[in-house]
Structure 1
Amino acid sequence: MYELDAAVTHAINSVAGSNALIDLVMIWASIIGVPLLVLAVAGQWWRRGDRQHTRHVLIAAGLSFLLGLALNQLVLLFVHRMRPYDAGVTHLLLASSVDPSFPSDHATAAFAIAAAFLLHKMHRLGFWFLAAAALVMVSRVYVGTHYVSDVLGGALTGTIAAMAVRAFYREGTRADRLITGIL
């Protein structure tokens, strides 16, 4: 299975360096994709319409984001995967990282946000966030920082986190009304 993962990762990363514009887009998506998603989520706080539901979803997205990254820390207690550039699979377009490769925190964060919106039936925004999350995932492989399985694992972790938050953070509860009533 590693051979397939490495081959697909190498195939995606092998395009890097052949087109300056695509390289620039992928580098920027990799670096600022998640912070832009967080800003896009935060900007929805004052959105018109069903403000109570929107704010509930925003809080759920934030909790999913945090839970997903916490789950990644648990995974890292057991899995210490070498980065693909250290294994000679990819060439790196960014600064190297000292963190283990699996799972991708960027993919986890982006997918936690997208999944939270989709699970809470804010489909239009959810699909935009999903498209952005997919771009972040591809960019992380393209720039050489992750294997394909790293970003897929991150997407799974983010989705599981969003599902857990959906199950336990209920809309309309006293805590929800208190949090969403702020500002």
Structure 2
Amino acid sequence: MRRVLDAAGVTGLHLLPLDDVPAFDEAPETGATFEENALAKARDAFRATGLAAVADDSGIAVDALNGMPGVLSARWSGVHGDDARNTELLLGQLRDVPAERRGAAFVSACALVSPAGETVVRGEWPGAVGVEPRGSGGFGYDPVFVPEGSSRSAAELTPQEKDAASHRGRALALLVPALRALV
């Protein structure tokens, strides 16, 4: 977020990481959409801290799987946050799917909740699921996601390249006007 705000020339906002506020209960992610989950997380943070809060919910939507794993991306294999198992399961499910049907998009919904109200935006990064992991950057499905127009996986891109093109970078850029209004 800091890189996106700096690139947009937004100053005067102090970013406070979640680790720097007292722990609070977060509702489980039960929304059917990325937007519902992001908004629930931002509302929880705002209620607990009284501070303007930004939250994200993101994942990968695969065409051949009718948009799944979608909001279940982080726990696709049944274990929350096990990137290797989630990726292995996804690749296994797509093993016999030809390249022309491996279309996918990374999706990020970002929500801002503040005394001024609520804003929710969505960013998408189209591409395809490769046949094997490549690269060591990023996390989650980055090693198997090949952005549209690229021959490199998301895990092979620099942080600056990802900010400029990624689903989260796109969503945060759409959130900039609402963040600027807080200053």
Shorter-chain TM range is: under 0.3
Q: Pick the structure with more strand per residue.
A: 2
TM-score by length of 2: 0.27
Considering fraction of residues, name the structure with more helix: 1
Q: Work out which structure has the larger RCO, using CA pairs closer than 8 Å and 6 or more positions apart in sequence.
A: 1
- TM-score normalised per structure 1: 0.27
